[in-house]
Structures are given as C-alpha cells and as structure tokens.
Amino acid sequence: MIWVAGALLLLASSGIYPYLPGGHDPLAVPVSQVVQVAAATALFLVPIGLLWLALQARGGERRRLVAQRRCGYAAAGVHVLVSLVAVGVALGSSGVILALLTAALCAYGLSTLLPHPTRRCSSTTSSATAPSTAATPPR
C-alpha cells in the first residue's frame, strides 16, 4: 500500500513540476502532458467503479463473483484505452523513448489487473473436499 501512495505522489509531482518556479529539464513538460492526459482519460474508470460497488453491495456470492469478473475486465479495457492515449501523447510530445517507457509501465499495470492462474482461488472448494497436503505415514 505504501508503494501505491509513493507512485501516486510521484505521478502528481511530475504533473505539476513544470509549473513550479525555477528552471526545469526539457523532459518535464512531455512527462507532465502524459500524466495529465492519462489522468483525464482514467476518469472513465469512475462509472465502472460505481457499478462494481453497487453490484458488490447486493446479491449473493455467485452474483458478486460474476460482477467482480465483468467489472474487472471492463477496468482492464479502460486501462488499455488509457495506455493507448498515454503512449500516443508520449510519442507525439517527446518521441519513441518516452513512448516505450510509458508502454512498459502500462503493460506492467495491466499485468497486475488481469487474473493469473497461480493467484486464482476458488471460493466453492471447502476444506472437506480439498485434497489433503499432509504426508501419509509409511506402512
């Protein structure tokens, strides 16, 4: 949770860095543009989050799991949209290097959003039906 707060602080500070008094490096303005456009485009996540919250508040366990899956994939789709816009702004404002760095960061963010087979857990498996991991004594 602390690294998320640090990343948000870094993004916010890079967004306002060119507007602070004093000199700044030439890359500050393109990075600020990328952050501002990505933040504005990410506002499309707000309705998905509200729908997700409403669906989680009502219904049974099965309905919650379906809502979580659907809203998660919708959020991943919006992330792809935000990524494409951010990479386009980075390419147009600074060049290929900043666009590649932005694409790499966006790909990492997408990889954390999508479910992984190793992280998947089933809520329907009870401890009575789950296979035992205890070693059986030799006969």
Q: Cβ atoms within 10 A of the Cβ of 137, count?
A: 5
- Check residues 128 and 63 and name the one with the higher pLDDT: 63
Both tokens of residue 7? 């990343």
Structure tokens at 41: 């485009």
Query: What pLDDT, in 10s, does the model give residues 53-98?
Result: 888 787 778 878 887 888 888 888 888 998 999 899 989 988 898 8
Question: Would you say residue 128 has pLDDT above 50?
Answer: no
